[in-house]
Structure 1
């Protein structure tokens, strides 16, 4: 069976449309709901933060280590302060439970600011990425 040029062109155009629509769906899927964010970001951030603190790193270094080893740098959150606050409460609860003896109140306040700033970036991902 021989495919002519017109049929090839139609197949190529349809392929581009499928790829375009899949790309949109994947982008929308990256905007996480709270439960998914707690599982994908909160648990992992707390785990990596505690791992670094237990090795003797400072809170600042531990925060950076956690950031670089989680999905927080890559996800897009909804622009919702309550969402970020709920995610923070979940994350700090995990940190307190897993390595609270390594974190002072002052360090917790610094960590909260760090997490809030990174959460705001995730909520406004389109402002921070080149177009």
Structure 2
């Protein structure tokens, strides 16, 4: 291959690599947006709860023990680390939240976080402040 041919091939190869890089970044960005979008935009997912249920949670949370400075993302579906102490769902909320009576909770920064007992995944977040 002559020097002239190799010089003209190099910019084409760079453009091809650049095009593939841009395409890969776009696909990864779109994938991340789809995967993280619903989780990161829902800081309080209590759509299933009626206003009186939310009020019951707020009333209870005012006296509930709060987690210190948690080192995890409070987001729907996120897993709560084993280092975070969870409390059993209180009987006082049994009437207001019957669907969550077998779950656990933690209060983090004025949010009542309901956690599935078996998986430690966040199943509901209710603003408590």
Scaled to the shorter chain, the TM-score interval is 0.3 to 0.5
TM-score w.r.t. structure 2 length? 0.34
TM-score by length of 1: 0.34
- Name the structure with the higher strand share: 2
Q: Is the helix fraction higher in 1 or 2? A: 1
Query: Which structure is larger by alpha-carbon Rg, 1 or 2?
Result: 2
Q: RCO (CA 8 Å, sep 6+): is it higher in 1 or 2? A: 1
